[in-house]
C-alpha cells in the first residue's frame, strides 16, 4: 500500500486539460521526485495533493483513505511561489502559520523555539521579514513548512533561491526528515539532486505521466551500454576488441589510456568485464549510466514526437 | 494523536491577525484621534468665530458732524474713543496712539451725512466695516424717518421677525418639533460616513488580498485553510476594525462636543435666560407674539435662538433608530462591497491593475454620492426611494433619508433586499476570489470571469 496515492487524476481548466489520467504512488518513508518541464501540470497535481484545488475525476488516497480536510495538519507544503508577510515579525508570523496548520499556540511556540535554536536564528524572532535577506527568509519559510511535524512533505523547487551552502543545508535537512520517517515529494528541475535524493520518480509531460519508477531501475533501463576502462597506454587496439565492442573515445593520461566503449549486444556489466579481461589489462572499469538529465530530455523529446 | 484546532478556530486566528495588525498601526491611532477632532473642529469653528474675537480693539471716532458719535457704544469687540480737533492733527495723533483704527466721519452740507473713512495701519477687518455701516445706517435711517415725520420708535415696534417651527406629525398623531436643517446635516453626515467607510475599509480588504498575492504567501495559507475561510476571516477582521474605529469616533466626538458644548453653552445661553425671565413677566412662555417680539430684542439674541433651534432639532431625532439603522446598513453594505473588493483583489497582481474592475464595483456608490443634493431636497422623492431600496446604493441613501422620517415598511424591505443581495455577492466574490488567487501573471478578461462563475456553479 502506498502512503499517498493519486489515482487517475483528471483536471480540466476552461480551454485545456491540466492533468490527463495521471496516477502516482508514493511509498512511506521515501523521497519521490515529481519531474517535468514547465507547464506540464506538476503544480496542478501538487495543489490537488494539498487540497488547494480538487480533481475533476480521480481520487487521492492518504494512508489508504480518501483525503479529508483535517489531513492538512499532516501535510507540509513549500510552494514554488512562496513568500511571507513583509511587515510582520518573524516569530509572530511563524506562530500564525503554525496555528493555521492546526497547532495549539503552546505547542507551536515550543516547536518553533526548538527549530529557531537548531538553525541558530533565535535573534531573528522580533525582526520584520523585510529586514532579512532572501536566503534568511527561505530558512524561515522552511521552518514554517516543517514545524507542525507533518508526515508528508511536499517541496516545490526547494533549492531555488539558495546559495550552494544553504542548498546543501536544505538537502541535509530533507534527508534528516526522511530518516525521521517522513515521506517526501520533491518537485525540481535540478536533476543532480534527483539522483542524490530521490528513490522514485514520475515524469509528467503535457498533462500526462510519461515515465515513472525507481530511479536506479530507470537509469538502468535507459542504459546505452557505455563502459569506461583504464588500461596501459596503447594496451588496447581496435583490433583486439571483442566482437560487438566499439571504442568511442580515448584519452591519454600519462601511462594510462582512458577508453569509452560501447557494446552492441545486451551484455550485463560483469559479462562485459569478463570479455575485456581476456583482451587486455584492466586497471579500472565502470558502467556509464545515463544521467537523469539525459533521461529527462530523452523521454520528453520522445513523447513530444510521438504526439 | 496530535491536538488539532478546528476549522472555526482557524478562521478565528485569521480574524485576530487581520484585526490586530490594523489596530496596532500608527495610522489607525492617528485616524482615531484625528477624526473626532476634525468633526469637533467643523462643529465648533463657526461657534468660536461667532463668540470669540481677537480681544477688544480700540477704535477712535472722529465725527465732524456730531450726529453719530454717541451711537457708537463700546462692547465686547470694540472700544470707542471719541476724538476731536483738526483732521490732520487727529490723523497724526492716531498714528502715534497705536490704536487699531480711526473712523473719520467728515462734515458735509447734506442733512444726513452718509460717508465715513476708516484709517488703519493694516487692512481693516470686515467686522469693523460692517459694524460702522450698521451703527451709522441705523442712525441715518432714524434721522430720515424723523425728517419725513415718522416716529422712529413706532417703526421699531412694528418690525417683525417670523419664526417657523417645523413639526413632524407621526401616524399615531403624536407631534414632534423638527428642524429640517438639522435633519439635512445629520443625514448628510451619516450617509457620508457610510460612503467613506465602505470605500476605506473595502479598499483595505482589497489591498490586503493583493498583498497576500504579491507576497506569494497566499499559497502557503490556502494549503492550511480553505480560501473562503481566508476571505471571510479577512472581511470580518477588517469589519471589526471599522466598527472599533466608529465606536471610538462616536465616543470621542461625544466627549469633545459635550466639552465644547459646555464651554459654548455658558456663553450663548445667558441671553436666553434673560429672555425667559422676560417671557415670564409677559405672562407665559408659549405666547407667540411675545416670542416674535423677543426675537428682535437684540442682535446677540439670534445666536441663542439658532442654538436653541438646533438643540430642538437635535433632540427631535430618534437616535436609537438612527444608530440601529446605521449599524445594520453599514454591516450589510460593508460585507456586500468588501466581498466584491476581495474578488477584485483576487484577480489582479498589483494595485495598478485594479482600475478596470474597480470602477464597475464603485459606480453605484458614486451615483449615490452624486444624488446627495436631490435626496436631501426630496427625501421622499421617487429617485430617493428607489436608491434607498437598491442594495448597492441603499446603505448610503437610506441613512440620508432617515432623519426626515422613513416608513418602517420601507426600512424593512430595504434591509431584506440588502442582506439578500449580500448573500449573492459573497457567493460570487468567493468563487472569483478562490480561483483568482491561484493564478499569477495574467489578468483575466470579463468573459473569463464569467466562465469561472459558470464553471464553479
> Is this prediction's ipTM beyond 0.95?
no
Determine which of A185-189, A234-238, B80-84, B276-280 has the lowest per-residue pLDDT on average: B276-280
- pLDDT at res. B314: 66
Sequence-distant (≥ 6) Cβ neighbours of residue B29 within 8 angstroms? none
Q: Could you say which residues from 159 to 198 on chain A have a Cβ atom under 8 Å away from some Cβ of chain B? A: none
pLDDT one-digit tens code per residue, B167-184: 666 666 666 556 667 777
The residue ranking higher by pLDDT, B52 or A272, is A272
Q: Do B216 and A75 touch (CB under 8 A)?
A: no
Q: Is A232 on the interface with B (CB under 8 A)?
A: no
Q: Could you say which residues from 49 to 68 on chain A have a Cβ atom under 8 Å away from some Cβ of chain B? A: 50-53
Determine which of A171-180, B229-238, B370-379 has the lowest per-residue pLDDT on average: B370-379
- pLDDT at res. B172: 62
Q: Is A100 on the interface with B (CB under 8 A)?
A: yes
- pLDDT at res. B282: 38
B396 has a pLDDT exceeding 50? yes
Report the Cα B380 to chain-centroid distance in Å.
21
- pLDDT at res. B277: 40
> Mean pLDDT over residues B135-141, rounded?
87
- pLDDT at res. B274: 43
Which one of A69, A70, A85 has the shortest CB-CB distance to B215? A85
CB atoms within 10 A of CB B455: 12
State the Cα–Cα distance between residues B188 and A16, nearest whole angstrom: 52
Indicate the CATH number of B57-151 among 3.40.190.10, 3.40.50.11710, 3.40.50.2000, 3.30.565.10. Answer: 3.40.190.10
Percent of chain A whose pLDDT exceeds 90: 55
Whole-prediction pTM: 0.74
**B209 min Cα distance to partner chain A (Å):** 12
> Mean pLDDT over residues A112-121, rounded?
93
> Mean pLDDT over residues B83-90, rounded?
86
Confidence of residue A143 (pLDDT cuts 50, 70, 90): very high
- pLDDT at res. B284: 38
For B435, name the nearest residue in chain A, comparing CA atoms only: A53
Determine which of A191-200, B95-104, B120-129 has the lowest per-residue pLDDT on average: B120-129
pLDDT one-digit tens code per residue, A5-28: 999 999 988 778 899 999 999 999
Residue B211 class from Cβ within 10 Å (0-12 exposed, 13-18 middle, 19+ buried)?
middle
A124 has a pLDDT exceeding 70? yes
Q: Where do the domains of chain B lie?
A: 8-45+172-456, 57-151
- Which of A87, A94, A102, A160 to mutate against chain B (most B CBs within 10 Å)? A102
- pLDDT at res. B176: 56
User: Which residues partner with A258 through β-bridges?
Assistant: A230, A251
Q: How many CB pairs under 8 A join A and B?
A: 79
- pLDDT at res. B54: 57
Highest mean pLDDT among A82-91, B65-74, B434-443: A82-91
State the Cα–Cα distance between residues B384 and B155, nearest whole angstrom: 47
- pLDDT at res. B456: 63
Q: Do B2 and A72 touch (CB under 8 A)?
A: no
- pLDDT at res. B287: 42
Q: Do B3 and A104 touch (CB under 8 A)?
A: yes
**Nearest C-alpha neighbor of A48 from the set B217, B223, B220:** B223
Cα separations (Å) of B196 from A189, B63, B169, B242, B396? 50, 57, 33, 11, 10
Q: Do B219 and A79 touch (CB under 8 A)?
A: yes
Q: At what angle do helices B300-316 and B227-282 cross, to 10 degrees?
A: 130
B446 has a pLDDT exceeding 70? yes
Percent of chain A whose pLDDT exceeds 70: 100
- pLDDT at res. B43: 64
B41 has a pLDDT exceeding 60? yes
User: Which residues partner with B120 through β-bridges?
Assistant: B101
Q: Is B7 on the interface with A (CB under 8 A)?
A: yes
State the Cα–Cα distance between residues A148 and A82, nearest whole angstrom: 18
CB B374 within 8 A of CB B387: no
**A168 min Cα distance to partner chain B (Å):** 23
pLDDT one-digit tens code per residue, B274-330: 444 443 443 333 444 444 444 444 444 455 566 666 666 666 667 788 888 999 999
**A55 min Cα distance to partner chain B (Å):** 13
Determine which of B53-62, B125-134, B430-439 has the lowest per-residue pLDDT on average: B53-62
State the Cα–Cα distance between residues A146 and A139, nearest whole angstrom: 11
Q: Are strands A200-205 and A31-35 parallel, antiparallel or unpaired?
A: parallel
Amino acid at each position: 500500500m502506498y502512503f499517498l496515492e493519486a489515482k487517475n487524476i483528471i483536471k480540466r481548466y476552461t480551454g485545456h486539460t491540466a492533468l490527463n489520467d495521471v496516477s502516482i504512488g508514493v511509498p512511506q518513508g521515501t523521497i519521490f521526485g515529481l519531474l517535468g518541464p514547465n507547464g506540464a501540470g506538476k503544480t496542478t497535481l501538487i495543489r490537488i495533493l494539498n487540497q488547494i484545488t480538487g480533481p475533476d475525476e480521480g481520487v487521492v488516497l492518504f494512508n489508504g483513505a480518501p483525503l479529508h480536510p483535517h489531513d492538512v495538519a499532516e501535510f507540509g507544503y513549500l510552494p514554488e511561489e512562496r513568500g511571507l508577510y513583509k511587515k510582520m515579525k518573524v516569530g509572530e508570523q511563524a506562530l500564525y502559520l503554525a496555528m493555521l496548520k492546526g497547532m495549539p499556540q503552546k505547542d507551536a511556540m515550543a516547536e518553533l523555539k526548538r527549530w529557531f535554536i537548531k538553525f541558530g536564528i533565535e535573534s531573528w524572532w522580533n525582526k520584520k521579514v523585510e529586514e532579512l535577506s532572501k536566503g534568511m527568509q527561505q530558512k524561515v519559510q522552511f521552518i514554517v513548512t516543517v514545524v507542525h511535524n507533518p508526515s508528508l512533505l511536499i517541496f516545490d523547487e526547494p533549492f531555488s533561491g539558495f546559495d550552494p551552502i544553504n542548498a546543501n543545508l536544505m538537502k541535509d535537512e530533507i534527508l534528516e526528515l526522511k530518516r525521521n520517517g517522513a515521506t517526501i515529494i520533491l518537485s525540481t528541475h535540478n536533476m543532480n539532486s534527483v539522483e542524490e535524493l530521490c528513490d522514485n520518480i514520475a515524469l509528467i509531460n503535457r498533462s500526462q505521466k510519461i515515465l515513472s519508477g525507481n530511479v536506479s531501475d530507470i537509469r538502468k533501463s535507459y542504459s546505452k551500454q557505455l563502459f569506461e576502462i583504464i588500461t596501459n597506454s596503447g594496451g588496447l587496439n581496435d583490433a583486439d576488441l571483442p566482437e560487438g565492442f566499439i571504442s568511442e573515445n580515448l584519452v591519454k593520461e600519462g601511462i594510462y589510456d582512458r577508453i569509452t566503449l560501447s557494446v552492441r549486444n545486451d551484455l550485463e556489466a560483469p559479462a562485459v568485464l569478463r570479455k575485456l579481461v581476456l583482451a587486455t589489462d584492466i586497471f579500472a572499469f565502470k558502467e556509464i549510466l545515463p544521467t537523469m538529465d539525459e533521461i529527462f530530455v530523452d523521454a520528453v523529446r520522445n513523447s513530444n514526437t510521438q504526439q | 494523536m496530535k491536538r488539532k484546532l478546528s476549522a472555526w478556530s482557524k478562521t478565528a486566528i485569521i480574524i485576530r491577525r487581520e484585526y490586530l495588525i490594523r489596530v496596532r498601526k500608527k495610522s489607525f491611532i492617528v485616524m482615531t484621534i484625528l477624526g473626532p477632532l476634525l468633526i469637533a473642529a467643523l462643529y465648533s469653528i463657526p461657534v468660536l468665530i461667532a463668540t470669540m474675537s481677537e480681544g477688544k480693539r480700540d477704535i477712535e471716532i472722529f465725527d465732524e458732524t456730531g450726529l453719530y458719535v454717541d451711537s457708537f457704544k463700546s462692547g465686547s469687540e470694540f472700544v470707542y474713543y471719541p476724538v476731536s480737533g483738526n483732521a490732520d492733527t487727529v490723523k497724526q495723533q492716531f498714528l502715534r496712539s497705536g490704536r487699531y483704527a480711526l473712523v473719520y466721519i467728515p462734515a458735509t452740507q447734506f442733512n444726513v451725512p452718509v460717508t465715513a473713512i476708516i484709517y488703519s495701519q493694516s487692512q481693516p477687518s470686515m467686522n469693523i466695516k460692517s459694524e460702522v455701516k450698521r451703527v451709522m445706517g441705523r442712525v441715518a435711517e432714524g434721522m430720515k424717518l424723523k425728517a419725513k415725520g415718522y416716529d422712529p420708535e413706532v417703526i421699531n415696534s412694528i418690525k417683525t421677525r417670523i419664526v417657523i417651527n417645523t413639526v413632524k406629525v407621526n401616524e399615531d398623531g403624536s407631534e414632534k418639533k423638527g428642524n429640517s436643517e438639522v435633519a439635512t446635516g445629520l443625514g448628510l453626515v451619516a450617509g457620508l460616513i457610510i460612503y467613506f467607510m465602505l470605500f476605506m475599509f473595502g479598499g483595505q480588504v482589497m489591498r490586503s488580498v493583493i498583498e497576500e498575492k504579491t507576497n506569494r504567501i497566499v499559497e502557503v495559507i490556502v494549503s492550511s485553510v480553505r480560501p473562503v475561510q481566508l476571505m471571510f476571516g479577512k472581511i470580518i477582521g477588517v469589519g471589526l476594525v471599522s466598527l472599533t474605529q466608529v465606536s471610538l469616533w462616536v465616543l470621542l466626538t461625544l466627549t469633545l462636543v459635550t466639552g465644547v458644548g459646555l464651554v459654548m453653552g455658558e456663553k450663548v445661553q445667558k441671553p436666553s435666560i434673560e429672555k425667559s425671565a422676560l417671557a415670564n413677566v409677559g405672562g407665559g412662555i408659549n405666547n407667540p407674539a411675545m416670542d416674535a417680539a423677543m426675537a428682535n430684542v437684540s442682535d446677540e439674541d439670534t445666536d441663542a435662538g439658532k442654538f436653541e433651534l438646533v438643540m430642538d432639532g437635535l433632540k427631535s431625532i430618534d437616535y436609537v433608530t438612527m444608530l440601529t439603522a446605521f449599524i445594520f446598513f453599514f454591516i450589510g453594505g460593508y460585507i456586500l462591497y468588501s466581498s466584491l473588493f476581495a474578488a477584485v483583489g483576487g484577480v489582479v497582481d498589483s494595485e495598478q491593475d485594479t482600475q478596470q474592475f474597480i470602477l464597475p464595483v464603485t459606480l453605484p456608490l458614486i451615483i449615490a454620492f452624486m444624488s446627495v443634493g436631490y435626496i436631501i431636497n426630496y427625501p421622499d422623492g421617487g429617485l430617493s426611494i428607489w436608491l434607498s431600496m437598491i442594495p448597492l446604493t441603499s446603505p448610503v441613501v437610506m441613512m440620508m433619508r432617515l432623519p426626515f422620517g422613513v416608513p418602517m415598511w420601507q426600512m424593512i424591505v430595504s434591509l431584506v433586499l440588502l442582506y439578500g443581495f449580500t448573500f449573492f455577492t459573497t457567493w460570487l466574490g468567493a468563487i472569483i476570489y478562490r480561483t483568482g488567487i491561484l493564478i499569477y501573471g495574467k489578468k483575466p478578461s470579463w468573459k473569463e470571469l464569467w466562465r469561472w462563475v459558470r464553471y464553479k456553479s
